[in-house]
Chains A and B, each alone.
Chain A
């Protein structure tokens, strides 16, 4: 083989691998991406039952009801709308009423959001970025949600978040 042919072999091989990778990425993009919504966006958009998404908002004070065997029900609200969420398992340490939360799951036929993952943040002043942005946009942002200088939790590499998983 000449120099040119060898180079073409390598370039051809590289392009083939890149094409496969691009196909994998596009395929994965279609199936495994999860969108973020707030309760009012859910009300507007009429998200279909069974479609997975992330729901973010504040845990409505007084709405948390603990049931049998670690099942919990609470309302997630963004002040203009709210959505009931049911979850079974252990909630993260910093899950509190009145605090921000992000839950991942899907709405069932009865209109209840069934979460299989609940995310909270280890800092007591933490507001998930999505939730903060959404609240700011809707004008429900209160400055005390983010106390200056109080929320800088970080590990340099793998900083720690918390989440609960489904049973």
Chain B
């Protein structure tokens, strides 16, 4: 019953989406308020039905109803409850349902909190949102229905892929989807603006909080996925430049560019045409990511055998939406009015530079990800484009961006003073140089690249901090005054500081981990000691244990430094009987921001076991950086001036907008 109800609710949601995608537009055309208002109620009703449908699938998984194919294939009655729930989106059908649920959630949020939007804009935005939703409901109902039944229900399920039975699955996909799908709002706003042929600074003010929210989730989602891969795969890698990862990185890069260009548009009413294009591109890249991940076209460690009809269907959605929105853009962009002017050296100029480098970097990732697919389709030749390619292209493009980054917030709008900004960054520059010299001297004869990169990272961090320190007047005025000033500064400025410093922090982590990572791979028997980076790890014991749906072999290591026992680490190897698969559960020991990492290989007959031990200096900074960035985003989102409910009409801004 539950399955049929869930299926039926999804069909009803499709029906509602179809209404929502047509009537409000007609209403806007005929200036009929009642018709325009249909968008609001249908969006909320749609959310209710999809939420019901999603809850139905969760119920089926939790109650282990193996008469439903999706549950049978991905669940097991002995599985812990949390994985029964997360297993809902650990498979194609369920994760597509999560995708549309989040889409409906964003649509519903716009409907509920968009009371101050102009009626016709809201009608158009929700209608465009419903176009996307209709396409994906159709996709799910036609090719990936999670509610299909089996004629002869089996007693036990096939179990969820063991690698996915981890808390990472509970957090990573929903976060990532909140980011991916959140960009649909900026897309809908952009297309609505093109349909209406009208766009102003207020538009940017409405779009920015949504974009920022999506960006925060995407940032955290990517970081979470990276950390998950790091501890779950058992060999300590945290970014593989795999197409599936690139699929999430591309919308992030474009989305970051979009955030910055929205600032220009909001404050200065400039870069309108470009911002619209970026909004379209960002969501197009999200759709592309969905296509890459969901269609199975990839030649990747992530590849999975899948039904080709799905790939074709998503490709069709992709072509219709990207092609359609870009054609609309080509037709209507010229009708949008030009905005304010600015000198090349100015805040606007700096943000244009930021956009230029971010989108170019995004383009290189795009080429590296899709070139192998294109080549295979055209010539049949199979190649793989891996880390070396991206290090040679993405890396060099990020360096000038990082150098320019601290200058941006110091330049004035319209016409900036580069020399003045450079003077104010003097202290940060000197800090960076000192850091560079210290690291270079400390690791004499080592990598020449690492000290440079760390110096750059310190420059970025110090540069972001110094601007705020100066504005607060720290060290110059009494502490109490400084604290009062700090509270008085806009939260979005604090957000900028944290987000920018986060980049530098992540860079330090990346450089330290890749340069000074040490590893020890050997076969060990009980009593053996491995020495790595000043630590001594002794294999004390090996034992067997029975888990709920797996058996595991646990090795126990005691960790010593200078003869003192610090802690014990227990890496294990689990074998899941239902799937006949094994997973490696790495053991991590955190020391400051550095980590010791042990994962087990095969046990040989003679009582020895293959062991892989890593020492990863400052590795946690890699993920701490994105967390800082997301925190900065959150601060900025909470800024009263930018709150969703506080938009100002374009008229009041027109007075402020200076000419040439």
* Residue positions of A touching B, CB distance < 8 A: 1, 3, 6, 9-10, 13-14, 17-18, 20-21, 24-25, 27-29, 31-36, 54, 66, 69-70, 89-91, 93-94, 119, 121-124, 126-130, 133, 146, 149-165, 167
Contact = CB atoms under 8 A, between A and B. Distances in A.
Given A1-B343, A146-B305, A155-B169, A160 B367 contact: no
Contact of B303 (A1, A35, A128, A164): A128
Given A24-B392, A25-B393, A123-B581, A151 B305 contact: yes
B397 A21 contact: yes
Per CB-CB distance, the 10 closest pairs between chain A and chain B, nearest first, are A161-B301, A32-B388, A90-B601, A156-B173, A158-B225, A36-B382, A28-B392, A153-B161, A159-B302, A157-B176
A150 B349 CA distance: 54
A54 B612 CA distance: 24
B42 to A, nearest CB: 27
B175 to A, nearest CB: 9
A160 B163 contact: yes
Contacts, number: 208
Contact of B304 (A9, A27, A153): A153
Contact of A119 (B177, B237, B245, B301): B301
Nearest to B579: A124
Contacts of B34: none
B386 A14 contact: no
B221 A157 contact: yes
Contacts of B161: 122-123, 153-154
B622 to A, nearest CB: 14
Given A90-B521, A152-B92, A162 B367 contact: no
Contacts of B229: 158, 160
B344 A154 contact: no
A28 B582 contact: no
A153 B299 contact: no
A21 B521 contact: no
A130 B382 contact: yes
Contacts of A124: 579-581
B397 A156 contact: no
Max chain B Cβ within 10 angstroms of own Cβ: one of A17, A18, A146, A150: A17
Contacts of B164: 153, 155, 160
Interface residues of B, number: 91
B232 A21 contact: no
B523 A69 contact: yes
B363 interface: yes
B343 A122 contact: no
A89 B610 CA distance: 9
Main secondary structure of the interface of A (DSSP, over half): mixed
Given A34-B386, A35-B382, A158 B582 contact: no
A163 B235 contact: yes
B356 A14 contact: yes
B601 A157 contact: no
A122 B163 contact: yes
A89 B522 CA distance: 8
Max chain B Cβ within 10 angstroms of own Cβ: one of A31, A152, A154: A154
B360 A18 contact: yes
Interface string B571-597: 001000001111110000000000000
A161 B232 CA distance: 10
Interface string B366-377: 011001000000
Contacts of B610: 70, 90
Given A122-B583, A157-B173, A6 B392 contact: no
A1 B344 CA distance: 10
Interface in B540-597: 573, 579-584
A25 B364 contact: yes
Given A17-B356, A124-B580, A129 B299 contact: yes
A127 B299 CA distance: 11
A122 B575 CA distance: 12
B73 interface: yes
Contacts of A35: 381-384
Contacts of B515: none
Contacts of B302: 154, 158-161
Interface string B146-187: 000000000000100111100011001100110000000000
Nearest to B573: A93
A44 to B, nearest CB: 14
Max chain A Cβ within 10 angstroms of own Cβ: one of B226, B240, B303, B381: B303
A150 to B, nearest CB: 8
Contacts of B343: 1, 6
A75 B34 CA distance: 72
B363 A21 contact: yes
Contacts of B69: 149
A149 B580 CA distance: 16
B388 A28 contact: yes
A27 B334 CA distance: 37
Contacts of A32: 385-386, 388-389, 392
30 contacts: A6-B341, A17-B360, A20-B397, A28-B388, A28-B392, A31-B392, A32-B389, A33-B389, A34-B385, A34-B386, A36-B384, A70-B523, A123-B581, A124-B580, A146-B305, A154-B95, A154-B302, A156-B89, A156-B98, A156-B173, A157-B221, A157-B244, A157-B293, A158-B225, A158-B248, A158-B302, A161-B301, A163-B235, A164-B235, A165-B237
A22 B364 CA distance: 8
Contacts of B382: 35-36, 130, 133
B88 to A, nearest CB: 11
B378 to A, nearest CB: 15
A93 B582 contact: yes
A96 B234 CA distance: 18
Contacts of B303: 121, 128-129
A154 B601 contact: no
Given A3-B341, A69-B522, A93-B583, A155 B389 contact: no
A29 B385 CA distance: 8
Nearest to A18: B360
Contacts of A126: 304
Nearest to B162: A122
B27 interface: no
Contact of B393 (A18, A24, A121): A24
A90 B237 CA distance: 15
